[in-house]
Amino acid sequence: MEEQLNLAKANLKKDGFLKLKLDPSLNIIEEIKRLKTEKNAVILAHYYQVPEIQDIADYVGDSLGLSQMASKTSADIIVFAGVHFMAETAKILNPSKKVLLPDLNAGCSLAESCSGEDLKAFRDQHPDHIVVTYINTSADVKVYSDLVCTSSNAEKIINSIPKDQKIIFAPDKNLGKYIMERTGRDMLLWDGACVVHEAFSLDKIVALYNQHPGAKIIAHPESESHILRVASYVGSTAGMIDFVKQDNAQKFIVATEAGILHKMKQEVPEKELIAAPAKEDNTCACSECAFMRLNTLEKLYLCLKHELPEVTVDPEISKKALLPIERMMEISAR
Ligand code: 13P
Ligand code: SF4
C-alpha cells in the first residue's frame, strides 16, 4: 500500500489526481462520512457537481455562497468539490485551512482566458480604469483586480462604483455585456467566455419552448445575449433555484450546466425542468462542464483519505488577491 501511494503521489503532478486501486467491497459513502468526522473536514460542492457528490456535501451552493462558507468554516480541512479557482479562492479566504481539490485538472475556460500578466498589461494601457473581475479567475489575476464579483452580485458591485469612474470588466464578455445593459454603464470588456454557456442553441431553445407552452426560460448570465433576451429570469445558479421555487410556472427550460437540475428537482419535485439544448448536441439534451465533471466520488474519497491533491497559494499573492475579494464580500453584504 505504501509503495502504491508513493507511486500515485509521484504521478499526481502529471495526472492531477490520486490513482489508487479501491477495494471493491468499500462503502465509499460511509468511508467519506467517517473520514470527514475523523479529520474535522467539510465538503463544499458547487451545483454543477455530479449528484452523488452534491448529496454527500455539507453545503452545496453558488460561487458566492461557497466563498462565504469557506471563509467562516471552523473545519480543519476543506474538500472543495468544484473547480480550481473556487478552491483557490477558499484558500485565499481562509489560509490556515488545508484545501483539497479531488482533481487538480478541474479548470475553467473563463479562468484560462485571462492571465495575471495579460491583465496587468491591459490595465497599464488604461490607467484611468479600475478593474472588476469575475470570480472565475486565478489568484494571479485577482492581484491586478480592484474588485471581484460573482454572477449573483455583479450588478450590485458595478452599481457601487461612482458613475464617472471608467471600468475594465474581465474575463466574461457575456456577463459583462449583460451587466452593461442592466446598469447602463459602458465597460471595457475582456474577450473571455464559458464554453458551456456559449454552447446553447437559441433555435433549439425556441423550438423547445414552442413544444411546451407556458414554460419559462431561465438562464445564467454567462450565456450569450440572444439567449438572455428570451429568458424570463437571468441569475446565478442559486438565483435560478430560488426562482423556480417561488415562481408560479410549472415548467422551466433551464439554460445553465445540467448539474443544477439535481438540486432543482429536489427543491421542486412537482415541476417540470427541461435542460436547454446545446448547438452540437444531438444525442443528449444537456450541457455539462467537462471540468466540473472531472471530480468523482472515488477521487473525493481518495483525496480526503490521503489529503491530496492540495491547493496552495503563494502567501504574498494570497494577501494581494484577498483585498478585492474582501471588498466584494463587504459590498455584497450591504
Ligand atoms: P455561479 O454558481 O456563481 O452562478 O457560477 C456559475 C459558474 O459557472 C461557476 O463556474
Ligand atoms: Fe468555467 Fe463554464 Fe465550467 Fe463554470 S461552467 S467552471 S464558467 S467552464
Is residue 147 lining ligand 2, measured as CB closer than 6 Å? Answer: no
DSSP E strands in 110-150: the ranges are: 129-134, 147-149
The neighbouring-strand residues paired with 216 are 252
User: Atom 7, ligand 2: which residue's CA is nearest?
Assistant: 194
Q: Which ligand is nearest to the CA of 221?
A: 1
pLDDT at position 285 is: 47
- CA–CA dist 101, 87 (Å, integer): 7
Point out which residues pair with 78 in neighbouring strands.
42, 99
Residues 260, 182: Cα–Cα separation, whole Å: 25
Q: What does the pLDDT read at residue 219?
A: 98
Rounded to whole angstroms, how far apart are CA atoms 196 and 218?
15
Ligand with minimal distance to 200 CA: 2
pLDDT tens column, 150-185: 999 999 999 999 999 999 999 999 999 999 999 999
Please tell me if the CB atom of residue 258 comes closer than 6 angstroms to any atom of ligand 2: no
Contact predicate 190/122, CB 8 Å: yes
Nearest CA to ligand 2 atom 2: 194
**pLDDT less than 50: residues of the chain:** 285
Q: What is the pLDDT of residue 4?
A: 85
CA of 83 to the centre of ligand 2 (A): 8
pTM above 0.85, yes or no: yes
Closest residue by Cα to atom 1, ligand 2, is 108
Query: To test the ligand 2 pocket, which listed residue (151, 257, 294, 295) has its Cβ within 8 A of the most ligand atoms?
Result: 257
Q: What are 292-303's pLDDT values in tens digits?
A: 999 999 999 999
Residue 21 contacts residue 38 (beta carbons within 8 Å): no
Structural domains of the chain in order of their starting residue, each with its CATH number? 2-106+292-314 (3.40.50.10800), 111-193 (3.40.50.10800), 202-275 (3.40.50.10800)
Beta strands in 57-198 (DSSP E): 59-61, 77-81, 98-100, 129-134, 147-149, 166-170, 187-189
